């Protein structure tokens, strides 16, 4: 494969130049000007003039609902949504039914993922049955392919157990990802406790519910040396807590979703259940602090928390419907529209938070998250200036507050392991 004339952006080396990219046997073998003469027998040529050629996006936080909840999504449709959004690698969360607390379920997810056209990785659970009581056999699960551990969706209340999990994660050299919401402080989760929840009379989730667990886990990570991911950060105070812990030497990775840096709690009044998620959208000042965190590299990873739900589920009353929205097919465009075009980040800085930094968190950085000779040929080709309207999804679900919005940044090709996984002009997949 020869990709000709694209603007190659590599966040690892700082490359930002128009050049050709040659691919052989799933690897990038050469980059430079006018490579056509050096590869006359190339089996596939892509004209990338006017497009950015970047590392394939990596999402460390997706819910494919498989096994057990496949009416919402399954591994195949989740992979399609990923490829359509420019993602070549995803890390599935473990809160399936049954949960990924055992080798059989773990191997099922890995096996089904290999049938798709992208790299589907999975975390396993920190605790058996996600009950927060007994640690899983993390060593065995890692040996069978788990890339990290999380009980995402359910916060861990037992500080002693969290500490033991961190000590085991240090021994195994794996990251732990934490969903930080103290349920004791929440009445009707999914909506921020504040002006909007008061208007709706539904209680809500205060930022303090996030802050207290973030503070605990940052200090435990500092004490143990564990690498932890504070998932879907939503509170400005939590951004400050992470900043302090990082300054003290803790190995804290903070991730944020596109909806948390794009929207605030007022979106609930406009979109109803489509703006309900855990943790909730918070105040404009929280959003401003999140953007500061992104600009100052306190928040180093952008992840979607892709959370499909059926239309019937989301049509229930606000206090009864499930929390969460899909995000794989809009993430890149939301980053370009709300961060790059708004002047908060450069395009290379945005891509680092969606490629190289996620790869580093999961020890994939030797071959993924960057472009250069010897790297995996996982690429996304997109036009950052092309506008498009969010209308249809390849996911099984369509629970998104961005339906009908016009965004900038259109994916044209997603290439994974040297093969075209998705092309927009034919809206087709190679799996």
Q: Distance between CA atoms of 124 and 167, rounded to whole angstroms?
A: 16
Average pLDDT, the chain: 98
Q: Mind listing the pLDDT tens digit for each residue in 281-322?
A: 999 999 999 999 999 999 999 999 999 999 999 999 999 999
**410 confidence band (pLDDT: 50, 70, 90):** very high
Q: Mind listing the pLDDT tens digit for each residue in 204-215?
A: 999 999 999 999
Return all residues near 244 (Cβ < 8 A) that are at least 6 apart: 218
Q: Distance between CA atoms of 293 and 300, rounded to whole angstroms?
A: 8
Q: pTM of this prediction?
A: 0.98
The pLDDT, as a whole number, for residue 154 is 96
Going 63 to 67 to 70 to 76, the CA torsion angle's sign is positive
Q: Tell me: pLDDT of 71 over 90.
A: yes
Per the CB < 8 A criterion, the answer to whether 420 and 56 are in contact is no
Active site amino acids:
305
Q: Tell me: pLDDT of 275 over 90.
A: yes
Per the CB < 8 A criterion, the answer to whether 43 and 35 are in contact is no
| 366 CB neighbour count, 10 Å cutoff | 12
Q: Mind listing the pLDDT tens digit for each residue in 139-156?
A: 999 999 999 999 999 999
The pLDDT, as a whole number, for residue 41 is 86
The pLDDT, as a whole number, for residue 362 is 98
Q: What is the DSSP string of 202-256?
A: --BB-HHHHHHHHHHHHHHHHHH--EEEE-S---HHHHHHHHHHHHHT-EEEEEE
Within 13 Å, how many C-alpha atoms sit on residue 17's CB side?
A: 11
């Amino acid at each position: 494969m020869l990709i000709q004339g694209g603007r190659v952006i590599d966040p690892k080396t700082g490359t930002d130049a128009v050049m050709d990219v040659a691919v052989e046997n799933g690897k990038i073998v050469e980059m430079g000007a006018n490579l056509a003469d050096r590869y006359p027998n190339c089996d596939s040529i892509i004209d990338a003039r006017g497009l950015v050629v970047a590392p394939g996006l990596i999402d460390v936080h997706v819910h494919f609902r498989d096994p057990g909840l496949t009416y919402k999504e399954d591994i195949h449709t989740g992979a399609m949504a990923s490829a359509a959004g420019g993602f070549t690698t995803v890390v599935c969360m473990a809160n399936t039914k049954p949960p990924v607390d055992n080798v059989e379920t773990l191997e099922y997810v890995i096996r089904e993922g290999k049938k798709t056209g992208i790299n589907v990785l999975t975390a396993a659970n920190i605790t058996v049955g996600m009950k927060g009581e007994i640690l899983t056999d993390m060593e065995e699960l890692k040996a069978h392919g788990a890339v990290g551990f999380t009980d995402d969706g359910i916060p861990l209340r037992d500080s002693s157990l969290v500490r033991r999990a961190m000590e085991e994660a240090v021994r195994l050299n794996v990251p732990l990802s934490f969903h930080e919401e103290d349920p004791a402080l929440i009445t009707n989760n999914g909506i921020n406790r504040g002006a909007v929840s008061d208007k709706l009379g539904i209680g809500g989730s205060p930022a303090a519910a996030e802050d207290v667990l973030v503070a605990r886990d940052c200090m435990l990570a500092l004490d143990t040396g564990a690498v932890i991911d504070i998932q879907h950060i939503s509170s400005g105070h939590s951004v400050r807590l992470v900043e302090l812990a990082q300054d003290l030497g803790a190995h804290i990775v903070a991730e944020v979703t596109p909806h948390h840096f794009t929207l605030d709690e007022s979106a609930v009044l406009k979109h109803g259940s489509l703006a309900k998620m855990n943790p909730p959208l918070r105040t404009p000042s929280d959003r401003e602090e999140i953007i500061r965190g992104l600009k100052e590299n306190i928040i180093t990873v952008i992840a979607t928390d892709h959370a499909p739900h059926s239309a019937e589920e989301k049509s229930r009353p606000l206090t009864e419907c499930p929390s969460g929205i899909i995000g794989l097919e809009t993430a890149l465009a939301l980053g370009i529209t709300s961060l790059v075009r708004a002047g908060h980040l450069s395009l290379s800085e945005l891509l680092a938070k969606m490629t190289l930094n996620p790869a580093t968190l999961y020890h994939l950085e030797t071959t993924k998250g960057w472009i250069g000779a010897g790297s995996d040929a996982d690429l996304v080709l997109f036009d950052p200036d092309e506008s498009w309207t969010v209308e249809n999804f390849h996911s099984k679900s369509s629970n998104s507050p961005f339906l009908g919005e016009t965004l900038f940044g259109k994916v044209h090709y997603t290439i994974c392991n040297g093969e075209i996984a998705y092309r927009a002009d034919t809206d087709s997949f190679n799996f």
